[in-house]
């Protein structure tokens, strides 16, 4: 099979590397790709947010048998619908089910209607009513722009003053544009053992009939060590989650995952693809923080290297709705990904810095924001590389990853030194 992956980031590079191991896959393509994906796949220079352009490309290239759509934006505008509409086979949800990520108000209503545990919330499209609600609730409180906002549309407000300012920013100053026309105001959840509360990402394959969780992982969203500084797209991940257990898995399957799959079916929005559950362990049990309609980035970078089963076989089983036939196997041990970012990320940073990569042992260097310019490898984004290491346990994987990081350089390179140390007490 010839397979085309849509997206530009580290997640797409990791998916391509997993697909390359499949005996079913002949040639790989990436729309649009980066300097890393170009080593595995032929890069296709088409704007994947332009549905007409994607359709024209697919019609002109019958040699491509299968499409994998991973970023939130093309899923939200229905690129899968467009491709399926011309008879192409795809991995990824259609527009009417991708809404589970694209609208936080939709996701909260769904959870309320089907009794899926999550933080108490209310949704507003009117500033005055929202302000009144915030004042009645008091702080701490969480404000979320309804729509997609590059992972930046969430404000955790410790004081009422912060919340009032945040509300104005989102609803009046339109800091997140149209994404902030509606706002979800949420109770601030506490963790069972840690402050801020302990979070785990559970990605799951689902064909709408069966839902199968992957190995668990934990992200590090803040830019600096000790969870200080601004929120980012993710500065590093590790798998599996140290506080995960068989009991938690049963709880999450029965109270969250299966009910969510059934709820989407009941709404006529059958979800097929990778459904991502962002969860918090609270004193009242596991609760949903957010849903994503896709593989997480950088979670995918630590989850897929642990997959023993052929990823292409799983993708096809999801498409053909026979996921229950597949026995999905995972490696024992652990995996760590340390993200290397441009200095100044997530605010202002330079592009075009030359990157040198020395000996990385048996680690894998995943590319996110990279490009080739005049034959040289250069930075081309905020998150530039991810160094991925496997080990018998998280500590061993951590050591290997950081040993490799020492041999990678560019001007202004920034990374966290504490990826994989949290939740050690389980
Ligand atoms: P989200 O984009 O919804 O995942 O939110 C970003 C981050 O904000 C999450 O990963 C949590 O760390 C935090 N967060 C979101 N909602 C809540 C909440 N209701 N209570 C506490 N923390 C939250
Ligand atoms: N790592 C979080 C996300 O992919 O949204």
Question: What would the pLDDT profile of 303-320 be if each residue is shown by its tens digit?
Answer: 999 999 999 999 999 999
CA distance 1 to 180: 42
Q: How confident is the model at residue 351 (pLDDT cuts 50, 70, 90)?
A: very high
Q: Where are the domains of the chain?
A: 2-95, 126-181, 198-325, 334-425
Indicate which residue's Cα is closest to atom 18 of ligand 1. Answer: 188
How high is the pLDDT of residue 149? 83
Report how far ligand 1's centroid is from the alpha carbon of 278 (Å): 9
Which ligand 1 atom lies nearest to the CA of residue 278? 4
Count the alpha carbons within 13 Å of 384 in the hemisphere toward its beta carbon: 31
36 near 366, Cβ under 8 Å? yes
119 close to ligand 1 (CB < 6 Angstrom) = yes
Q: State the pLDDT at residue 53.
A: 98
Q: What is residue 254's predicted lDDT score, i.e. its pLDDT?
A: 98
pLDDT given at position 153:
86
Q: Is the CB of 219 under 6 A from ligand 2?
A: yes
Residue 175 pLDDT more than 90? no
Pocket test for ligand 1, best of 141, 156, 231, 346 (most atoms within 8 A of CB): 156
Q: What is the pLDDT of residue 177?
A: 87
Q: What is the pLDDT of residues 155-167, one digit of tens each?
A: 999 999 999 999 9
CA-atom Rg of the chain in angstroms: 21
pLDDT at 96 over 80: yes
* Averaged pLDDT, 226-237: 93
Pocket test for ligand 2, best of 9, 150, 219 (most atoms within 8 A of CB): 219
The predicted model scores a pTM of: 0.96
Angle of helix 127-137 versus helix 160-167 axis, rounded to 10: 170
Ligand 2 pocket check for 196: Cβ under 6 Å: no
Query: What does the pLDDT average to over 203-223?
Result: 97
| 334-425: CATH class | alpha beta
Ligand number nearest CA of 9 is 2
State whether residue 110 is helix, strand or coil.
Answer: helix
Alpha carbon of 367 to ligand 2 centroid (Å): 16
Using a 6 Å cutoff on CB, does residue 194 contact ligand 1?
A: no
Q: Which atom of ligand 1 is nearest to the CA of 221?
A: 10
Q: If DSSP codes are grouped into helix, strand and coil, which group holds residue 60? A: helix
CA 294 / ligand 2 centre spacing (Å): 9
pLDDT attached to residue 272: 98
Residue 338 alpha carbon to ligand 2 centre in Å:
15
Residue 218 Cβ < 6 Å to ligand 1: no
Residue 224's SS3 state is strand
User: Is residue 357 predicted with pLDDT exceeding 90?
Assistant: yes
Residue 152 has pLDDT above 80, yes or no: no
Q: Answer yes or no: is pLDDT of 150 > 80.
A: no
CA–CA dist 324, 304 (Å, integer):
20
Q: Which of 153, 152, 154 is nearest to 141 (CA)?
A: 154
Name which of 220, 198, 212, 205 is nearest 336 in CA terms: 220
Return the CATH class of domain 198-325: alpha beta
196 C-alpha to ligand 1 centroid (Å): 10
- Measured distance CA(383)–CA(9) in Å, rounded: 9
Cα dihedral sign, 69-75-79-80: positive
CATH number of 2-95: 3.40.50.20
Q: Is the pLDDT of residue 121 over 80?
A: yes
For position 248, what pLDDT does the model report?
98
Q: Is the pLDDT of residue 151 over 80?
A: no
Q: Give the residue whose CA is nearest to atom 11 of ligand 1.
A: 289
Mean pLDDT of 177-205: 95
Stretch 325-354: mean pLDDT: 97
Ligand nearest to the CA of 300: 2
Share of the chain above pLDDT 90, in %: 95
Residue nearest to atom 14 of ligand 1 (CA): 289
Expressed in angstroms and rounded, the spacing between residue 315 Cα and the centre of ligand 2 is 20
Average pLDDT over residues 171-175: 90
User: Residues 138, 321: contact at Cβ < 8 Å?
Assistant: no
Query: Domain 126-181, CATH 3.30.1490.20 — does that match?
Result: yes
Is the pLDDT at 180 greater than 90, yes or no? no
Strand 228-231, strand 222-224: pairing: antiparallel
Whether ligand 1 lies within 6 angstroms of the CB of 343 is answered as no
Centre of ligand 2 to C-alpha 56, Å, is 30
Residues 172-176: contacts with CB within 8 Å, 24+ apart?
Answer: 172/127, 176/145, 176/147, 176/149, 176/152
Does the beta carbon of 74 lie inside 6 Å of ligand 2?
A: no
């Amino acid at each position: 099979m010839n397979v085309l992956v849509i997206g530009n980031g580290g997640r797409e590079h990791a998916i391509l590397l997993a697909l390359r191991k499949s005996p079913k896959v002949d040639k790989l393509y990436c729309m649009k790709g980066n300097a890393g994906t170009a080593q595995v796949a032929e890069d296709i220079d088409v704007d994947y947010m332009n549905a007409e352009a994607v359709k024209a490309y697919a019609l002109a290239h019958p040699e491509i048998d299968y499409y994998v759509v991973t970023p939130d934006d093309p899923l939200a505008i229905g690129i899968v619908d467009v491709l399926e509409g011309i008879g192409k086979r795809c991995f990824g949800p259609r527009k009417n089910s991708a809404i589970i990520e694209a609208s936080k108000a939709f996701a909260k209503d769904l959870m309320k209607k089907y009794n899926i545990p999550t933080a108490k919330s209310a949704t507003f499209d009117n500033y005055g009513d929202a302000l009144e609600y915030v004042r009645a609730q008091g702080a701490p409180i969480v404000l979320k722009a309804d729509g997609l906002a590059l992972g930046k549309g969430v404000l955790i407000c410790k004081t009422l003053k912060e919340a009032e300012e945040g509300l104005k920013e989102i609803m009046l100053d339109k800091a997140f544009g149209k994404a902030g026309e509606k706002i979800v105001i949420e109770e601030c959840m506490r963790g069972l053992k840690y402050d801020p509360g302990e979070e785990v990402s559970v990605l799951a394959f689902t064909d709408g009939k069966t839902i199968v969780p992957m190995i668990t992982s934990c992200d590090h969203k803040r830019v600096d060590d000790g969870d200080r500084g601004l929120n980012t797209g993710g500065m590093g991940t590790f798998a599996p989650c140290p506080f995960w257990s068989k009991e938690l898995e049963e709880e999450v399957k029965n109270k969250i995952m299966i009910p969510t799959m059934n709820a989407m079916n009941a709404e006529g929005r059958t979800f097929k693809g990778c459904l991502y559950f962002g969860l918090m362990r609270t004193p009242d049990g596991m609760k949903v923080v957010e849903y994503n309609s896709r593989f997480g980035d950088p979670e995918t970078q630590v989850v897929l290297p642990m997959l023993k089963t052929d990823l292409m076989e799983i993708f096809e089983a999801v498409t053909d709705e026979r996921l229950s036939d597949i026995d999905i196997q995972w490696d024992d041990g652990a995996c760590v990904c340390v993200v290397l970012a441009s200095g100044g990320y997530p605010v202002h940073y330079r592009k075009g810095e030359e990157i040198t990569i020395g000996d990385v042992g048996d680690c894998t260097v995943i590319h996110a924001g990279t490009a080739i310019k005049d034959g040289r490898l250069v930075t081309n984004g905020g998150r530039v590389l991810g160094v991925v290491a496997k080990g018998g346990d998280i500590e061993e994987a951590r050591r290997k990853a950081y040993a490799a990081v020492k041999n990678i350089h560019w001007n202004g390179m920034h990374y966290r030194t504490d990826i994989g140390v949290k939740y050690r007490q389980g």
